[in-house]
Copies of this chain bind each other. A is one copy, B any other.
Amino acid sequence: MASDPTLAAPIITDDQLLSHWQGHRRVTRRVLEAFPDTELFSFSIGSMRTFGELALELLAMDVPMLEELIEERPREYQPPTANTKEEVLRMWDEHTAQIDALWPRLPAEIFQQTKTVLGQYTSKVYDRLWCVIDNETHHRGQGYVYLRALGIEPPPFYLRD
């Protein structure tokens, strides 16, 4: 099909960005579930953080970032505390609902605006969102190695439903 510049077809829509993120979050939830309770906050490789600690980092970035963008009120990076898989999964599900509720409140033009979030990062908003998703993918990849090292088959990476 020939290119038609008058189409102004989007590369990606905001709904698609949200769906992609929540798809990743479903995979990460399955990785959390796959960990034995006893290993989530104890097992690691090469002096890295446990997967439980990595999940708390993710929870410190997702909803707080959206709240800061929408409310235009500075937020600090502050991971929540938890010591059990049950607590992490409960917070994960709360954030899933909060992300869905907050997302429609992002103004259409915000994605190309430059913002500082969580007192640390300044870039265009699409890039901030994408870096948070990338950070989840990066750390979840590490969780896959932990599961394999524990002799546990991880959930398929490519199934996002």
Contact = CB atoms under 8 A, between A and B. Distances in A.
A113 interface: yes
Contacts of A142: 141-142, 144-145
A149 interface: yes
A147 B46 CA distance: 8
A113 B4 CA distance: 13
A131 to B, nearest CB: 7
Given A16-B126, A45-B45, A142-B142, A109 B4 contact: yes
Interface residues of A, number: 51
A10 interface: yes
Contacts of A127: 16, 20
A25 interface: no
Interface of A: 1-5, 7-14, 16-17, 20, 24, 45-48, 107-113, 124, 126-127, 130-131, 134-135, 137-142, 144-151, 157-158
